[in-house]
Amino acid sequence: MARGPMAGVSGPGKFSKRTDGLSFQSTEYGSGVENTAAKAGAPLAKTPDVRPTSRSEMGMAPSQLEPVTSLYAPSQRPDEPITSGIAMGDGPGPEALGMQSMMNGPKLSDILASMLPYDNTGEVAILYQNALSRGN
């Protein structure tokens, strides 16, 4: 019979005791057989398969997958600028990925200005002044 939280807390280290009323460490002869029989009657949870998927299971031939490049290997794209994919420097920027730049959106100060009528604490006004001073 479980006693629950009213039984109090267990002591530390060697003074610890179960507080739920269960005891599976019986010293009686044959109690292990009873415990094993009780566990056999209960369905066990199925664990997911954690093995990596093989190339044949993915339906790909080994030649279709690119090998993993090590950290210190020479560049696989020596003609591509290092700034490719970012919004500065040589090479295509985020527009090549179909992403809109944050520079094209509304300014932070404009967004905060639209929130000023609902600012009861004055915090939005402070943020608005900071944004204006930075040119955002």
The predicted pLDDT at position 25 comes to 59
- Minimum mean pLDDT range among 10-14, 72-76, 127-131: 10-14
- pTM (two decimals): 0.28
Q: How confident is the model at residue 2 (pLDDT cuts 50, 70, 90)?
A: very low
SS3 category, 36: helix
The predicted pLDDT at position 135 comes to 83
Rounded distance, CA 8 to CA 24, Å? 20
Given the structure tokens 């929130």, which residue do they identify?
115
Burial class (CB in 10 A: 0-12, 13-18, 19+), 74: exposed
Rounded distance, CA 77 to CA 91, Å? 12
Q: DSSP characters for 41-87? A: HSPPPPPPP-SPPPTTTTT--GGGSPPPPPTTSPPS-TTS-TTTTSS
Burial class (CB in 10 A: 0-12, 13-18, 19+), 119: middle
- Distance set, CA 85 to CA 66, 129, 134 (Å): 21, 33, 26
The predicted pLDDT at position 5 comes to 58
101-115 per-position pLDDT tens digit: 555 678 889 999 999
Rounded distance, CA 94 to CA 121, Å? 38
The predicted pLDDT at position 7 comes to 60
Q: Are the beta carbons of 101 and 95 closer than 8 angstroms? A: yes
